Amino acid sequence: MMIMMMGTAGENIPKAPKEKTVFVEDLTDTDIPTGFPPGLENLGNTCYMNSTIQCLKAIPELKQQLMKMESAGQLNPNTMLSRSLRDLFARMDNQHSGISPGGFLSALRQVFPRFAARDDHGGFMQQDAQECWTEIVNCINRAAPGVNTSDQNNTFVKQYLGLEMDSKIQCLDSPDEPATTEKESQFILSCNITTEVNHLVNGIKLSLQNKLEKTSPTTGSIAQYQKTSGFSRLPNYLTIQYVRFYWKASTSTSAKILRNVKFPLELDMYEFSTPELQAKLKPARQLFVEQSERDADSSAKAKADDDKVKMDADQKTGKKSMPSEFADDTGSNNSGFYELKAVLTHKGRSSDSGHYVAWVRSETNAKEWMLFDDDKVTSATEEQVLALSGGGDWHMAYILLYGPKVLKSDADLA
């Protein structure tokens, strides 16, 4: 059989595509989009580190500042670990799955050899995620400079994670003894768990009231003192640790407090602040109130005329994100309002055993959460996150990361 082709050679010949066609079956695991950010492989009891990294990555300003760090220059343990975290963050932004954090793990163990400890069988030991979190943040504090400042002491971590407290110390045994004051700063707020604590707010309140014993300069003997504290500065990102572990001498182990201590998706720190800071917080807080009233009016109008309000809403584009920090204090929180960004949880009975995972709020949908269980990433709901408050053998909150509640409004902050 003969087939004859009609037409002029070279006429309307299809051109080869500019980019080579790639078929799904030809993609590697790291190239296939999963719809989720990538997880991190467990390299032998490294879930404590993986969950810490996933939570810290929920601070976009941290990643941005680490990316500005120069690769050249003096290399010390702090800069080495910070640059290694920067490089890992970059890989996590460019790959879809199957990321090995081996480079960062090597740097972590080089700087802190205790994270390379092995058990009696030769395997790497489980570690405390809070200790890992603290060491990483302290290294970044010593390596990453502050934003919009030439003051070398005003570091990025101090700006965006630094709490400041004012305390008044009054002698209870000698009321006439003049009270003393002191200032403190910290990167993590501890929530002690007692029989009186059923909610995070209760724990914060108790942490600001403490009784001390020390020698009185008035009587020369040991006296009781009351220490009352308040926050004089709130950071953009508030880190709170549930103090769930304690040393149990009878078994020589780190035992766990399983008590159910609930936490909110939104947290207001106004009542825990000093009067001076409360006064500074009021303008931004008033904008939240006004926006809430406008939203309520819009809802009422929607019930009266759904179509018109829908059209108005579609046409309205003037809303903008209001500043969440004071103009003269980079990295601060100017309202006292926070929303939960990430939760690091532990499942097990001691800090050096069990399993750690991270629960992180989606950057694109505030109602959606993701569960990072090493290299396995799945979706989660707000209800599942709120159920991490403890009371059993399920995953329970160990570290909470709150970020600023950002107001979208057409008003101006004076």
Distance of alpha carbon 341 from alpha carbon 401, whole angstroms: 6
The CA distance from 206 to 355, in Å, is: 29
The amino acid sitting at 377 is: V
3-class DSSP assignment, residue 403: strand
Q: 3-state SS string over 208-256?
A: CEEEEEEECCCCCCEEEEEEEEEEEECECCEEEEEECEEEECCCCEEEE
Q: What share of the chain is helix, strand, coil (3-state, %, to 5)?
A: 30, 25, 40
Q: Which residues of 131-167 are buried (b: 16+ CB within 10 A; e: fewer)?
A: bbbbbbbebbbebbebbeeeeeebbbbbbbbbbbbbb
* CB neighbourhood size of 3 (10 A): 4
The catalytic residues are 47, 355
Q: How far apart, in whole angstroms, are the C-alpha atoms of residue 19 and residue 254?
A: 57
Beta carbons of 211 and 165 less than 8 angstroms apart: no
Quick check: 331 and 156 in contact, CB under 8 A? yes
Q: Considering only CA atoms, which of 54, 48, 188 is closest in space to residue 115? A: 48
**Assigned token pair, 110:** 């080089």
Question: How many residues does this entry show for the chain?
Answer: 414
Token match 């008035």: residue? 218
End-to-end Cα distance, the chain: 86
DSSP reduced 3-state for 286: helix
Q: How far apart are CA 169 and CA 132, in angstroms?
A: 33
Residue found by looking up tokens 């009891």 in the block: 45
Residue 48's nearest CA partner among 281, 254, 237 is: 254
- And the tokens for 190? 């501890």
